[in-house]
A and B are shown apart, each in its own frame.
Chain A
Amino acid sequence: MTVAAVASRTMPFAMAVNEALDVAMGLDERVFLLGEDIAEPSGGVYKVTKGLSTKYGDHRVRKTPISEQAIIGSAVGAAIAGFRPVAEIMIMDFLAVCLDQVSNHAAKIRYMSGGQTTVPMVIRTSAGAGMGFGAQHSELLEAWAVHTPGIKVVVASTPADAKGLLLSAIFDDDPVLFVEQMMLYWNPAYAGEVPEGDHRIPLGRADVKRPGSHVSLISYGKQVHDCLAVAETLAGEGIDAEVVDLRTLVPLDIDTVLESVARTRNAVVVHEAVTRCGFGAELSAQIHEALFADLEHPVQRVGAKNTPVPYAKPLETAYVPQAADIEAAIRRVVA
């Protein structure tokens, strides 16, 4: 007897996001998109929403003014009124322009109303350094949202995860911040097999992308790929690194993290955001609290330097955590 394989196609990360939006809008009339430049002919500044306004109409793929408070506010109101809006904030740094709507409203309304009103919306946003965009168009700010109870936070690393997690986020009953690193969007190096149709991955479930026994590399987003590359390199020296992809920061699959670290007895936490008060600080604290006596070495953190994102290429490269930084951290804990 053979098991029928789920049909899949290889595609870049951006196309997987596009497919998730397409599937969600096809499944449910309540799903609509709003954001700057997302409709045809541009289909988004990164072409992530290409073709969707032609297929579903301008009323469901809504081009907005450059008004982030109005975008998120509209999504909050429509979500309470029964829709499932997917709002795009073009670049993650622009969350600063509308943080009141995200933090004081989207995140808190369920609680403040005693559960009477809910805000089932997604905020998609692109982020990350490496494109030479400078300080206001390159930051990873997921820790802001993680620090705000009431909103869920997803950072996908692969096209298949992006599709599966975004579909789950859209049909989740809480607001979700969905972070897409722009370096992943169209680079063929990050393309991957993506299951067809309504492919969903539950929020709050980490994925062990590479099993190993000497050290646990815990990461999310693009840096998962960096961790995998370093793990491959070090495998030649007999260092066997496990790579845990968190996929969602809230809810956090701490069980998978602790199970891994309890086995390897060493952990390196890796993300693109600045190290200081980054999500890695929280993760490191939780690992120490749970496994202090079992650890061979203190948990190591690898993240960006504590500066604004610089423009000049050598500075930008020095800012973003590199494979060499991950490797150095591993060597601090694995002899």
Chain B
Amino acid sequence: MTEDEGGAVAESALPDRDTLVRMYEVQTTIKQCDERFRSMLMSGQIALIYYSPRGQECISASWGVHLRPDDYVLTIYRGLHDHLAKGVPLRELWAEFLGRATGTCKGKGGPMHITHPASGLMVTTGIVGAGIPIANGFGLAAQLRGSDQVTVVNFGDGASNIGAFHEGLNLASVWKLPVVFVCQNNQYGEHTPMRMATSVEKISTRGMAYDMAAVTVDGNDPVALWRVMGEAVDRARRGEGPTLVEAVTYRFWGHLMGDAMEYMPAEERQAAMAADPVPRYRQWLVDHGQATDDELSAIDAKARDAIDDAVQFALDSPFPDPSELFTDVYAEVVR
């Protein structure tokens, strides 16, 4: 494992073994969950709009281990990895993706709007960049209350080109809000590569424009991510203001499931998939004596069993009753 800047990671800079293993557990759950969604979609067992997070697992797992249950997380339509890293329960998550009454949002939100306040997963938006100004509101709430809760808001490289990003980062810096802005740079905004849409090579340089701590990190390096996220979360928790973290990775499966991906060069994609960060990290844990292969296999199997259970739970669950259409529009039913 190397840092973003290169060079071996000092043993003292490593997280403890439990944290290292916990990050793997989150990663394998995300990876297997995604594989199950895609296989069930491809075999026609389920039908839904699906944005695969494969390739981005390490990023969410790395902030996940730094957050408390009462910290706030916001994410976007490509958010399955973030939902799982914040602890949204698999059963309710699967049921919501499948539009069932037992889902996190009673089947009213769907994959693009997963919400689970009990886990601290507060908003999933389908609008690029829109979570950024809302994250400031959660940060402001913590600041006004005098609590040390931290808000992490996730978005893609494309979101750094929308106005909400710039308004949001400016205000967070002016008000010194306890927010970590996590740009998961997967190098594509929908069907357009970053180099054709974004004026800077590193999105973190945009943090400088707002006098905000900002860093670019290898989004496939769990240890470097763990360190960077730890610094950002601690800064927020100490009341020392926001951070922009750009974590550079690659989106394996295009914008949404069914995307023909003509705009992604085949060799570029093959190279990224050959360097799949999840098996690579698994091997690193074994090679560095942090976990045995048997131990990690048991974790893989546990995640698989939990997904089996969640899929069955979702498939066995009823759809919402049509009478649910009119509830939750307002606090009371309004004509």
B335 and A70 form a contact (CB under 8 A): no
| Segment of A99-107, A207-215, A229-237 engaged in the interface with chain B | A99-107
Dominant secondary structure at the A interface:
mixed
Q: Known interface pairs A111-B108, A115-B327, A116-B105. Does A65 touch B137 (Cβ–Cβ under 8 Å)?
A: no
B334 and A77 form a contact (CB under 8 A): no
- Which residues of chain A are within 8 angstroms of B237 by Cβ–Cβ distance? none
B122 located at the interface, meaning its Cβ lies under 8 Å from any Cβ of chain A in the complex: yes
CA distance A144 to B53 in the complex (A): 35
| Segment of B14-22, B162-170, B263-271, B276-284 engaged in the interface with chain A | B162-170
Task: Digitize B137-175: 1 where CB-to-A-CB distance is under 8 Å, 0 elsewhere.
Answer: 111111010000001000000000001100110110010
Interchain CB contact (< 8 A) of B171 among A67, A110, A150: A67
Q: How far is the CB of A283 from chain B (nearest CB, A)?
A: 13
For B174, the closest partner residue in chain A by CB is A65
Q: How far is the CB of A289 from chain B (nearest CB, A)?
A: 13
Interchain CB contact (< 8 A) of A110 among B103, B104, B116, B329: B329
B328 located at the interface, meaning its Cβ lies under 8 Å from any Cβ of chain A in the complex: yes
- Which residues of chain A are within 8 angstroms of B164 by Cβ–Cβ distance? 69-70, 73, 100
- Which residues of chain B are within 8 angstroms of A251 by Cβ–Cβ distance? 330, 334-335
Interchain CB contact (< 8 A) of A70 among B144, B167, B327, B334: B167
| Segment of A36-44, A79-87, A190-198, A316-324 engaged in the interface with chain B | A79-87
A81 and B72 form a contact (CB under 8 A): yes
Q: In the complex, how many residues of chain B place their beta carbon closer than 8 angstroms to a beta carbon of chain A?
A: 45
- Which residues of chain B are within 8 angstroms of A116 by Cβ–Cβ distance? 104-105, 115-117
Q: How far is the CB of B251 from chain A (nearest CB, A)?
A: 24
A113 located at the interface, meaning its Cβ lies under 8 Å from any Cβ of chain B in the complex: yes
For A254, the closest partner residue in chain B by CB is B335
Q: How far is the CB of A71 from chain B (nearest CB, A)?
A: 8
- Which residues of chain B are within 8 angstroms of A252 by Cβ–Cβ distance? 335
Task: Digitize B86-107: 1 where CB-to-A-CB distance is under 8 Å, 0 elsewhere.
Answer: 0000000000000000011111
For B118, the closest partner residue in chain A by CB is A116
For B327, the closest partner residue in chain A by CB is A115
- Which residues of chain A are within 8 angstroms of B127 by Cβ–Cβ distance? 100, 104-105
- Which residues of chain A are within 8 angstroms of B134 by Cβ–Cβ distance? 73-74, 76-77, 80, 101, 105
B247 located at the interface, meaning its Cβ lies under 8 Å from any Cβ of chain A in the complex: no
A65 and B329 form a contact (CB under 8 A): no
A220 located at the interface, meaning its Cβ lies under 8 Å from any Cβ of chain B in the complex: no
A150 and B330 form a contact (CB under 8 A): yes
A247 located at the interface, meaning its Cβ lies under 8 Å from any Cβ of chain B in the complex: no
CA distance A174 to B332 in the complex (A): 9
CA distance A19 to B327 in the complex (A): 34
Q: In the complex, how many residues of chain A place their beta carbon closer than 8 angstroms to a beta carbon of chain B?
A: 46
A160 located at the interface, meaning its Cβ lies under 8 Å from any Cβ of chain B in the complex: no
A78 and B140 form a contact (CB under 8 A): yes
- Which residues of chain A are within 8 angstroms of B207 by Cβ–Cβ distance? none
CB within 8 Å of A: which of B55-83? 72
- Which residues of chain B are within 8 angstroms of A238 by Cβ–Cβ distance? none
CA distance A250 to B142 in the complex (A): 32
CA distance A149 to B335 in the complex (A): 10
B31 located at the interface, meaning its Cβ lies under 8 Å from any Cβ of chain A in the complex: no
B329 and A77 form a contact (CB under 8 A): no
CA distance A67 to B170 in the complex (A): 9
CA distance A100 to B130 in the complex (A): 8
A143 located at the interface, meaning its Cβ lies under 8 Å from any Cβ of chain B in the complex: no
B184 located at the interface, meaning its Cβ lies under 8 Å from any Cβ of chain A in the complex: no
Q: Known interface pairs A59-B144, A114-B104. Does A73 touch B137 (Cβ–Cβ under 8 Å)?
A: yes
Most chain A CB inside 10 Å of its own CB: which residue of B125, B133, B163, B327: B133
A294 located at the interface, meaning its Cβ lies under 8 Å from any Cβ of chain B in the complex: no
B54 located at the interface, meaning its Cβ lies under 8 Å from any Cβ of chain A in the complex: no
- Interface residues of A, Cβ cutoff 8 Å to B: 32, 59, 64-65, 67-70, 72-83, 85, 100-101, 104-105, 109-118, 149-150, 152, 172-174, 204, 250-252, 254
Q: Which 3 A-B pairs have the closest CB atoms?
A: A77-B137, A73-B133, A81-B141
What are 12 pairs between A and B in contact, CB < 8 Å?
A67-B170, A69-B168, A70-B133, A73-B135, A77-B122, A80-B123, A100-B130, A109-B123, A113-B105, A114-B103, A152-B330, A152-B334
